[in-house]
Structure 1
């Protein structure tokens, strides 16, 4: 993502909220085992809050100024700047010369890349806003028919069970009218992050969505429930209820599963939940 594109996404009535989200993400990553240390994360946050111009993407500060701001000596200032430049977060925009300090720029896309693995520990609304401001470029888009044929040919050459399962799952999702209808209502970044992992199944006049955790189920229902219901009603007018529940050791979800169901949105019995 180009730097100018990122800055464009940080303009408008809700831009200030996203800026706070970025600061929260930096500090969250610094408190965890990431490439961004706690010490550097704190000082990066301070310089963003006090010296960063969001419109021009500039930080104007000399070593002496940074030394006073960060309460460290000049040697430590140079180390921190070197670490930030090595990470790709900071770059020189205009070199300092006599009478003028160095002007740096921030690569916000790089900050997003480094902090993305830790967004899930922040509030759900923060993660959603950051997903919208910084779409994951590694998300694989739905393949067209030609690419599908190429994938299937590759699978024929190496028809391992894993490849077959992946191809079948990709084909199933592309042909799923429910997912297609919801995708028209929900923005692509949010759809890929929150909706795509869900499993759904129709049960008489009810459509049940199964999530890997209560957090995901609650968040999807709260943030996208009305859009999902509208899409489903347009697709299947006979559907009267759209519910959200939690996976109970169901195939299709990997890792540890939350065996609890959501009482408000779940099924009536454990037997019903297992049948979903």
Structure 2
């Protein structure tokens, strides 16, 4: 149940910002471990320990035997086998190199899927967290070079899902909200898709390209059934 294309900076584990990216992954997992439901919280905590102790960031894999995992997690090898199967079933990890005689299997961690699953809990970390993970552009005056579309004080939407999401987005960054989100109109939520309407094609395309992840993270914090965000342009004559 990943969110393909939503999280923009998950590939930065080997560059100048690698340290911050790794820290953010662990933060996302640990806030899920603190606030999530029993099964996902347990898996998030165990994966966090595995990442900290045994994940090879250079190769992008971990290779740990069941006996070592059992000792690390404080469980039986039978439980390890069951937990690893659950991690694979959820798409959090996948086999990179199958086990062979005298060698344990290598697994890669599917960070986009993992981070997508943690999205409902990002709000608890702080207003900067979702913005950093989704790679949203900086607001005007902090290095951005795109001119905002409006400057007057916006009228906040009425109560409801979009009202709560809008309030959260504005609390995170008033400048970004006023420039890009204030003109969006709520259409509906159907089959897990939050649909919004923009007054121009440019605004719809820009928000969909640069801010989709931020909107989705805020929506998931309010309603965990939301799986995607669609931003369309208003068509004249309709």
Does structure 2 retain, via aligned residues, the 8 Å contact 1:18–1:129? no
Q: Structure 1 residues 59 and 122 mapped into 2: Cα distance closer, same or farther (>3 Å)?
A: same
Deviations, residues 98-139 of structure 1 (Å, cap 9, x unaligned): 221211111111102211122122212221111129xxxxxx
Q: Which one scores higher on RCO, CA 8 angstroms, separation ≥ 6?
A: 2
Over 6 Å off, 4+ runs: none
Deviations, residues 184-236 of structure 1 (Å, cap 9, x unaligned): 628xxxxxxxx99xxx6x6xxxx2245557654343147x59x96xxxxxxxx
Cα RMSD for the two superposed structures? 3.3
Partner of 1:99: 102
Structure 2 residue ranges without an equivalent (≥5): 137-143, 157-162, 180-238
Does structure 2 retain, via aligned residues, the 8 Å contact 1:7–1:55? no
Does structure 1 retain, via aligned residues, the 8 Å contact 2:93–2:107? yes
Which of the residues 140, 143, 153 maps onto 1:208?
153
TM-score, scaled relative to structure 1: 0.49
Deviations, residues 136-178 of structure 1 (Å, cap 9, x unaligned): xxxxxxxxxxxxxxxxxxxxxxxxxxxxxxxxxxxxxxxxxxx
1:185-264 matches, cutoff 5 A: 185=146, 207-210=152-155, 216-221=169-174
How many pairs does the alignment contain?
Answer: 159
Partner of 1:14: 17
In the TM superposition, what is the alpha-carbon distance from 1:88 to its structure 2 partner? 0.6
Between the aligned partners of 1:36 and 1:132, the Cα distance in structure 2 is: 29
Does structure 2 retain, via aligned residues, the 8 Å contact 1:66–1:77? yes
The DSSP-based 3-state class of the residue aligned with 2:113 is helix
Query: Is 2:2 aligned against 1:41?
Result: no
Structure 1 residue ranges without an equivalent (≥5): 134-182, 187-194, 229-276
Between the aligned partners of 2:61 and 2:133, the Cα distance in structure 1 is: 21
Does structure 1 retain, via aligned residues, the 8 Å contact 2:9–2:133? no
Between the aligned partners of 2:60 and 2:9, the Cα distance in structure 1 is: 10
Computing the radius of gyration from Cα coordinates, the structure with the larger value is: 1
Does structure 2 retain, via aligned residues, the 8 Å contact 1:58–1:106? yes
Partner of 2:32: 29
In the TM superposition, what is the alpha-carbon distance from 1:30 to its structure 2 partner? 3.0
1:67-146 matches, cutoff 5 A: 67-132=70-135
The DSSP-based 3-state class of the residue aligned with 2:95 is strand
Q: Structure 1 residues 64 and 119 mapped into 2: Cα distance closer, same or farther (>3 Å)?
A: same
Between the aligned partners of 1:214 and 1:87, the Cα distance in structure 2 is: 32
Between the aligned partners of 1:112 and 1:210, the Cα distance in structure 2 is: 32
Kindly indicate which of the two structures has a greater share of residues assigned to helix.
1
Between the aligned partners of 2:128 and 2:174, the Cα distance in structure 1 is: 13
